[in-house]
Structure formats: C-alpha cells, structure tokens
C-alpha cells in the first residue's frame, strides 16, 4: 500500500494514494496505523481523499484502530471520506462509531481539542477540597 505521510507537531497525516482499499490491504493498513502508537507523536489523521472504495474488512480494521488509539490516549481521525466509502461504513453500522470530519483542517482541530482534553483530565493540578 502506497501512502503519503505528513508529520506535524501534534499528529501525523497518513494519506493512502490508492483508489481502492481491498481486503488484502487490511493487515498492511493495520500495521501502518499501529506503528504510530509507538512513536512520540501518537495522534493520527487518516486522509481518505483518494479512496473511492473500501472493502468491509478494511472498514472493520479502521474501527478497531480508532478504538485502539483511544485506549492508548491518542487520537485517530478520518477525513475526506468519499461517498462510496461512507456508504460502506454506514452499511456496516460503523459510521456513527468513528471520528470522521469533512476536511483535514477539521481533523487537525479535533486532534488538538482531544489533546487539550487529555491534558486537562490527566493533570494533577485540579483538586477539590471540602469546606467544612
């Protein structure tokens, strides 16, 4: 699978350049995405602007990857989803479970908001003292 990679400060954008993500690419896609959980910048934006069709096996891998990223305190956002790929996710009842934005810019915003949210929730600075 050929991809274009663009690394930013808080996330990496991975853009598959193929028009179809078939079942035999599912394992390769899973490995490609999973590598980012081992890097200092874990957040991933998957730009599917070139993908016109995706196999149900790939759709399932995408849903699993998103869950894995969130379990590891990292963001996984899909952007530029094409209508045919969106239809497949909807048919598999995965569309509403996934973090999908119309544009890459909006995906960046989601990643940055989730980073702030994690920092606030993980911070030890917040203390609630009882006033007796």
- The CATH code of the domain that includes 86 is 3.30.750.24
Residue 37 lies in a domain: yes
Q: Please tell me whether residue 76 adopts helix, strand or coil conformation.
A: strand
The answer, yes or no, to whether residue 56 has pLDDT greater than 60, is: yes
Mean pLDDT for 24-46 is 89
Domain count, the chain: 1
Tell me the pLDDT band of 26, cut-offs 50, 70 and 90. Answer: confident
**Listed residue (38, 37, 31, 39) closest to 58, CA to CA:** 31
Mean pLDDT for 2-12 is 91
Beta pairing, strands 76-79 & 100-101: parallel
Query: In this structure, how many other beta carbons lie within 10 angstroms of the beta carbon of residue 102?
Result: 10
- pLDDT value at position 131? 55
Residue 45 lies in a domain: yes
Model confidence pTM above 0.95: no
Rounded to the nearest integer, the mean pLDDT of the chain is 89
Range of the domain at 31: 3-120
Measured CA to CA, the distance from residue 73 to residue 119 in angstroms comes to: 10
Tell me the pLDDT band of 92, cut-offs 50, 70 and 90. Answer: very high
């Amino acid at each position: 699978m050929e991809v274009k990679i663009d690394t930013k400060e808080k996330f990496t954008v991975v853009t598959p350049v193929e028009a179809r993500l078939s079942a035999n690419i599912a394992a390769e896609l899973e490995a490609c995405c999973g590598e980012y959980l081992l890097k200092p910048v874990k957040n991933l934006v998957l730009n599917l602007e070139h993908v016109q069709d995706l196999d149900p096996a790939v759709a399932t891998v995408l849903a699993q990857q998103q869950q894995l990223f969130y379990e590891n305190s990292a963001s996984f956002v899909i952007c530029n989803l094409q209508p045919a790929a969106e239809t497949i996710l909807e048919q598999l009842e995965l569309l509403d479970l996934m973090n999908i934005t119309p544009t890459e810019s909006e995906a960046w915003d989601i990643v940055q908001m989730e980073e702030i949210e994690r920092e606030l929730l993980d911070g030890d600075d917040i203390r609630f003292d009882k006033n007796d």
